[in-house]
Amino acid sequence: MLADESTAPRRFSDLRSAHPADTTLQNLLRTLSAKLDTCGRLAVVEYEAHVEGYEACATTFNRLAEVERRSLEELLACLRSHLDATKGPLETPAESADTGGREG
């Protein structure tokens, strides 16, 4: 079953198309994408180091993952602020039509 468009999570591509000329937004999205990838990979390499018995390396990867998660949270907060400052919350055409005239 497909999620209703109005409740579907936003994609980076949706944000890019909504603000096509905003270089800062593009940079935020690219950096977020790279950080998400790094966070995912660090969990895997930590596990692999642990399985192979390299506990010092596993601990290092775990600490790096925590630092990356904190920086990811900071970057997300920056993205929220940037979107609020530029055009406010994004709405899809379906959301605009669904909420027309209603307070929510």
**Reported pTM:** 0.59
How high is the pLDDT of residue 22? 84
Q: Are 19 and 56 in contact (CB under 8 A)?
A: no
What does the pLDDT read at residue 3? 47
Q: Is residue 68 part of a domain?
A: yes
Residues of the chain under the 70 pLDDT cut: 1-10, 12-21, 88-104
Residue 59 maps to a domain: yes
Q: Is 87 helix (H, G, I), strand (E, B) or coil?
A: coil
Number of domains in the chain: 1
Segment 2-28, tens digit of pLDDT: 444 444 566 766 665 665 668 999 999
Question: What is 59-82 written as a DSSP string?
Answer: HHHHHHHHHHHHHHHHHHHHHHHH
Q: Is residue 96 part of a domain?
A: no
Residue 76 falls within a domain, yes or no?
A: yes
Residue 26 lies in a domain: yes
Residue-range definition of the domain harbouring residue 55: 22-84
Distance CA 44, CA 52 (A): 12
64 in any annotated domain: yes
In a domain, 95, yes or no: no
9 is a domain residue: no
